[in-house]
Amino acid sequence: MPQSLLGPLTADSPLNGIPGYGAYAAEQVSRNHHFTQDTESWALFAQGTYDLTDALRVTVGVRYTEEEKDATSDQKLGDSFCGMTGNLEGGSQGQCAAYNNWLAVVQASNFNSYNKYWTGSRKTDDLSPSVNLQWDMSDSSMLYVNWSEGFKSGGFSAADDGNPGDLPVGVPPIPPVVDNGFQANGYVSTVPNEDFEFDDESVDSIEIGGKHEFMDGRMRLNWAAFYSEYDNLQTTIFKGVGFSVKNAASSEVEGLEVDWLFQMTDAIRVGINAAYLDASYGDFKDGPCDAIQLDADRACGTPAGVTSNDLTGYRTLYASEWSGNAFIDVRFPMGNMEWFGGVDVNYRDEFDSAGDADPYDVIDAYTKVNARIGLSADNWEIMAYGRNIFDEVAYQQSFDTPVLAGSHTFFMEEGAVFGVRGTLRF
Per-residue pLDDT, 108: 78
Q: Which of 90-94, 106-110, 164-168, 278-282 has the lowest mean pLDDT?
A: 90-94
| pTM, rounded to two decimals | 0.79
Statement: 199-424 belongs to CATH 2.40.170.20: yes
pLDDT at residue 119, rounded to an integer = 93
The Cα–Cα gap between 396 and 349 comes to: 12
What is the pLDDT, as a whole number, of residue 3?
33
If one compares 278 and 286, the residue with the highest pLDDT of the two is: 278
Average pLDDT, the chain: 83
pLDDT, mean of residues 292-301: 78
| pLDDT tens digits for range 222-269 | 999 999 999 998 887 766 556 678 888 789 999 999 999 999 999 999
Q: Give the dihedral of Cα atoms 78, 79, 80, 86; nearest 10 deg.
A: -30
What is the pLDDT, as a whole number, of residue 356? 86
What is the model's pLDDT at position 403? Answer: 67
Distance, in Å, from the CA atom of 135 to the CA atom of 145, rounded to the nearest integer, reads 9
Indicate left, alpha or beta for 138 from its phi (over 0: left) and psi (-120 to 50: alpha). Answer: beta
Q: Which of 91-105, 311-325, 376-390 has the lowest mean pLDDT?
A: 91-105
Q: Is the pLDDT of residue 1 over 50?
A: no
Rounded to an integer, the average pLDDT of 168-196 is: 64
Residue ranges covered by each domain of the chain: 199-424
- The answer to which of 193-197, 202-206, 303-307 has the lowest mean pLDDT is 303-307
> Average of pLDDT values for 275-296?
86
What's the one-letter identity of residue 313? G
pLDDT at 175: 54
pLDDT-derived band at 298 (thresholds 50, 70, 90) equals: confident
Residue 410 predicted with pLDDT over 70:
yes
* All residues at 6 or more sequence positions from 307 whose CB lies less than 8 Å from its CB, including other chains: 289, 293, 296, 297, 300, 301
Residue 33 has pLDDT above 70, yes or no: yes
Taking residues 162-190, report their average pLDDT. Answer: 63
Distance in angstroms (rounded) separating the CA atoms of residues 227 and 252:
8
SS (H, E, C) the chain: CCHHHHCCCCCCCCCCCCCCCCCCCCCCCEEEEEEEEEEEEEEEEEEEEEECCCCEEEEEEEEEEEEEEEEEEEEEEECCCCCCCCCCCCCCCCCCCCCEHHHHHHHHHHHCCCCEEEEEEEEEEEEEEEEEEEEEEECCEEEEEEEEEEEECCEECCCCCCCCCCCCCCCCCCCCCCCCCECCCCCCECCCCCCCEECCEEEEEEEEEEEEEEHHHCEEEEEEEEEEEEEEEEEEEEECCEEEEEEEEEEEEEEEEEEEEEECCCCEEEEEEEEEEEEEEEECCCECCCHHHHHHCCCCCCCCCCCCECCCCCECCCCCCEEEEEEEEEEEEECCEEEEEEEEEEEECCEECCCCCCHHHEECCEEEEEEEEEEECCCEEEEEEEECCCCCCCEEEEEECCCCCCCEEEEECCCCEEEEEEEECC
| Side chain identity, residue 401 | T
Strand pairing category for 337-348 and 366-376? antiparallel
- Supply the pLDDT for residue 300: 80
Q: What is the percent of the chain with per-residue pLDDT over 90, rounded to a whole number?
A: 52
When comparing pLDDT for 123 and 298, which is higher? 123
Strand 366-376 versus strand 268-283 pairing type: unpaired
Q: Phi, psi (5° rounding) for residue 280?
A: -145, 160
Q: Give the per-residue pLDDT at 102.
A: 66
Rounded mean pLDDT, 385-406: 87
**Mean per-residue pLDDT for 81-103?**
47
> Does residue 229 contact residue 196 with C-beta atoms inside 8 Å?
no
pLDDT of residue 393: 94
pLDDT at 331 over 60: yes
Rounded Cα–Cα distance for residues 402 and 110 (Å): 8
State what percent of residues in the chain have pLDDT above 70: 81
